[in-house]
Chains A and B, each alone.
Chain A
Amino acid sequence: MSENLTRSGIDLQPVYGPSAPSADYQEQLGDPGEYPYTRGTRAYTGQGWIQRELSGEGDAKRSNEQFKYLMDLGQTGLDVIGDSPTMSLMDPDHPLARYTVGTQGVSLCSHEDYRQLLDGIPLDEMSVSSSSPSMFMVASLYLVAKERGISPAALRGSVIEWPFYSENCSYAYKMPFDLHLRMSCDVIEFCSQEMPRFHGFLEDTYFFSEAGLNAVEEAALGFVEIRHIVRTLLERGLDIDSFAPRIAILTNCSMDFYEEIAKIRAMRRIFARMMKEEFGAKDPRSQAVNIAVHTSGLSLTTEQPANNIVRGAVQTVALGLAGVSALEISTFDEGYRTPSKEAHMVGLRTQQVVDIETNINSVQDPFGGSWFMESLTDEVEEKVLAMVEDIESKGDPAELVSSGFFKQFFHGTMGRFHHQVHDGDVQKVGMNVHQVPAEQDTLLRDISEEKIAPLFDRIELLKAFRAGRDQEALLAAFQRLHDVVQSDENMVATVIECTEVGATMGEIAGILRQAWGTPYDPYGYLESPLDGAR
């Protein structure tokens, strides 16, 4: 397959550029794989992107079956999301979790869950990208690898760090910002030492940009968070090149075709310059950031679900042209649920059709040098940098989180989006333009509206599991964790110890909060196991 031919036999070069590169070209663009990586972080491979679809529903066993189904369909990476209690560090037997266990993602809380989730998955070959809370995914992934005789150093994949925006955008930890930031930094440091191929720091701009943000706002807020986490790690005395090669970004992709391509090109350039010039990174891998994408759920509609398939395909083409490292399409049933089996197949097949049938990967950064695209990339970059500067000029970003600045910002963008759709400034076919009566809107409706029932029996099973643990070992581990949180020591190793003796995520999170001087259960239902022991 060394040939790179069009259907008519025209031989394509893997990348096109000026015959005599000017200084301006080198400074602003560079060839793919060259600083400032505007045109891509790697020289041509022709391999395209990692193709995956968001998965996770019910319990770990059911989600493991989803993984295997997707792998059979040709998925090349895993992407898993927890249900809403899991995403908020809450065990399924918490009273507030009751009606939602396993319904919008997989319910995970103990090491046994992760064992089942990852059963039979070739962890030394398959990358595992997880949206579930990073510290717990890393702890169990590390343990599962060791149990199977795989070196944790061989693990690939990513976990998301979101201390800035999770409280306000769907994944509330109910923790003080400083504690959440400490957890993130501990995970990043631990991964850089023990799991060097694994991205311990995925900056996720997807979930918070679904609060109605535009591309510039999305990128700017992402960089504000990246910069603060990087500064915090440097203050710990870490070398920038010890962790920066494993920073990656997960962005959104709306239907604004050209601007989304420009955004990704601009973000690569901003990241490269920031790392090199501001943070002094010398390793080229620290300057070249992999960007993965999850296409926008907000761009989809519950009206005429089949239209969403077209939206996913268009977004996939945009991202193929932008050159991304991995991709997940929000599926046609997104308005109602996490992807159904049918939607999984359509999402993956969409990626495969674009990848295999269109020759899209034959040439890298095909828009490079376009007057329009370069101008748009420059303008997006300029606006993003100005917004980052503006936010940082308002004070310490950490203070801005605590003072509610971002919360207010998100409420503003949510209200704005509502108006835009209502007033027709944002046009959506089938929703506010070219609508059809309900009786005609039947295609794929039955699949989209099918519900996933909450797993009430899992609550009982967990109670039995709790009772069967070595209570003494558990208490000792909790006490040790409590002490570690109050020291400067990295918490991850102790969280792994707790996980090994059967501690659940909710318990560990509670101990962290308690050691920080805040309530064990922020919702006021549960008591700390440490309180009973004293």
Chain B
Amino acid sequence: MRTRRARPALGTLVEIGVAARGAGASLSLGDAIASAFARIAVAEAQLSRFDPASPIHRFNAAAPGTRIAIGSDAARVLTAALLLHDASDGAFDISLGSGPVGWRCEGGSLLKIAAGTTLDLGGIGKGHAVDCAIATLRAAGVEAGWVNAGGDLRVFGDVALPVHLRDEVRGGVVPFADLRDGAFATSRLPAGHASVAAEECLWADALTKLVVASGDARHPLLERHGAVAWLH
């Protein structure tokens, strides 16, 4: 039996679905889904630039030389962002041009180097939050399910998730693919859209932005992360 729930989170609508609960599941279906939503809220509190308590918000308001303690969510996202920035010759930039070398991630802290550098994890954080929710479902004994944060989605276990694309000019959706054990994300181009499929949603999300920035659906970084891209 399939169960799906949706809540507003991450600035969009997040759907969590369970296709198979598993005999050894430690939580009820509803509780497993609720704990996955709770995990997303924890990640959002770390990664949001709007939440005044988040390290990213505090970084953006801080003076140069300030060191801000970060948790494992921010550390994973910032590390991946830096790797993508360097490997893409700066095409992927969470400072959105405000100072790509104005920040540094050192162990458990985020260091502000240059005044004026502000960070926005909107292009990668949602994917990470989806990965976190998937890990929570698995830890609760769920055998198959999916998480979709407004189009940044990931599916695991014995279920093929039909993915549809929205026509954002005229409306309506068209079938695109059946996805198993993987992640998928879509971003807007000046004309049209770019979609990326990858193992993990953080990479699908971030690499979509790379394809948008570079206009290259065969960017060498895609292969390095086991990802495939489409322009449409």
A, B bound: no
